[in-house]
Amino acid sequence: MNLNSNLNIILILFVLCFVNSINTQNKSIEIRGSVLDPFNIGIPYAAVSIPAKYIGSATNDEGDFQLSLSIKHLSDSLIVSSIGYKSFKIKVQDYINLKDKVIILEEDIAELSAINILKPKDYIKNAIKNIKITTISKPYQLNLLYRRFSVEDNKARFFVEHYLKTVDRGPNSPTFDKIEVLQGRKSADYRFVKVKQKVHAIQIMNWSNVLRTRDGFNKYKWTRKGDTTYDGEDVIIIEGSRWKNDYLRLYIGMDTYSIYKVENSSLNSVYVYKKNIDGKLYLSYHNREFKQKRKITPEMQKILGKKKPQVNTAYRHEMFVLGLETDKKNIKVKDRGALNMDIGDLKVPYNTVFWNNFSAPPATSFYTKSIEEIESIYGVPIETQFKSINK
């Protein structure tokens, strides 16, 4: 065998080893678990992430979480944080080695001095004034999962789910700079009213966020409702109201004036924010439900046995942020424009391989209830509907 042949063999072996090393590092690892309080009750919407690698998710309303990682993340630190609890830190490998995949968060009691307490209205002013400092204000990419259920006569009858990439600038922008819908799937359509929205529902998510619109803050009567903590910072809960049963509740850091959570009686909405590695906030989780009454035909009124020619309708929305990218060089989003049509009418690629391998967040009770309602209409499992409807 000549020298050139030996060199070729060595080169091939080197390439094979190199490729094998890359494949090994990129091997997917699914980690699951639960985040509980000291009384073994699940903590909803807790941030579970590896901030240094911009990877993370949130627990569902029962405290369960799921993350898709790779072997190269085994030495990274997994950090779990939630309002009212001390943050928890553990290496990914150490977590995998745990017999019981359960993380218990200790309560963090806030003892606020009355001397340092500002007027509730002043906290709102300072929080809005500093929002450009406390949140990521330069363009960044979010990878997220968006779900919408169409409800008629108090039962979910149509479901759409999209995996998207967006370019955002946080609450400093009224909406996303770019939106690209990569994958989607939907259920059978059992609606009889078929109410449609004029734009993709994710646009409405931003338009409904008071941190983006900044509308009407001066119309609220603000009061202090309580104290808590987040990630070592004392947090004051400020609630505003304009009329009976109306509220806008903000969880504001006393040192930084960061807004960690927003709860709004309008649309019964929740917006949860978490920190990146630099301590800047970005949206992590959201849900809302828009309810209204709609007219129905006399024929449908008779079928449903209604006294009046109308039924209750609603949109149930849920959004999970699954990934964050702040490096401008790595931001890759092809803008699909304003997406000026209903989410259910948008033509989106459907790939069974993608969804079979997709690491979806654990189902919330909100999601499970809605899926069960759709399946119960004609007894057809949701997976069967996906295969039949999506081509």
- Can you give the CATH number for the domain in which 75 is found? 2.60.40.1120
Q: Where are the alpha helices (DSSP H) in 208-343?
A: 210-213, 298-304
261-to-55, 236, 252, 297, 373 alpha-carbon distances in Å: 20, 11, 8, 42, 30
Domain count, the chain: 2
Asked if the structure places residue 51 within a domain, the reply is yes
Gyration radius (Cα) of the chain, Å: 24
Boundary of a domain, candidates 54, 77, 104: 104
Amino acid 366: pLDDT: 84
Closest CA to 143 of 316, 296, 322, 378: 322
96 and 136 part of one domain: no
122 and 86 part of one domain: no
Which residue positions in the chain have pLDDT lower than 50? 3, 11-25
Q: For residue 339, is it left (φ>0), alpha (ψ between -120 and 50) or beta?
A: left
Amino acid 117: pLDDT: 79
277 and 371 part of one domain: yes
pLDDT tens digits for 293-303? 999 998 988 88
54 and 171 part of one domain: no
- Count how many residues are written for the chain: 391
Six-digit token string for 172: 């400093």
337 and 356 part of one domain: yes
Percent of the chain with pLDDT over 90: 67
Asked if the structure places residue 335 within a domain, the reply is yes
283 and 361 part of one domain: yes
Amino acid 20: pLDDT: 45
Amino acid 115: pLDDT: 53
DSSP 220-252: SEEEEEEEEEETTEEEEEEEEESSTT--EEEEE
Amino acid 13: pLDDT: 45
Q: Are 255 and 236 in contact (CB under 8 A)?
A: no
160 and 303 part of one domain: yes
Asked if the structure places residue 18 within a domain, the reply is no
Amino acid 114: pLDDT: 59
Six-digit token string for 83: 């309002």
254, amino acid identity: M
Q: Are 296 and 311 in contact (CB under 8 A)?
A: yes
Six-digit token string for 187: 């259920």
279 and 364 part of one domain: yes
Asked if the structure places residue 56 within a domain, the reply is yes
Asked if the structure places residue 76 within a domain, the reply is yes
303 and 237 part of one domain: yes
What's the domain range around 44?
Answer: 28-104
Boundary of a domain, candidates 104, 138, 166: 104
213 and 88 part of one domain: no
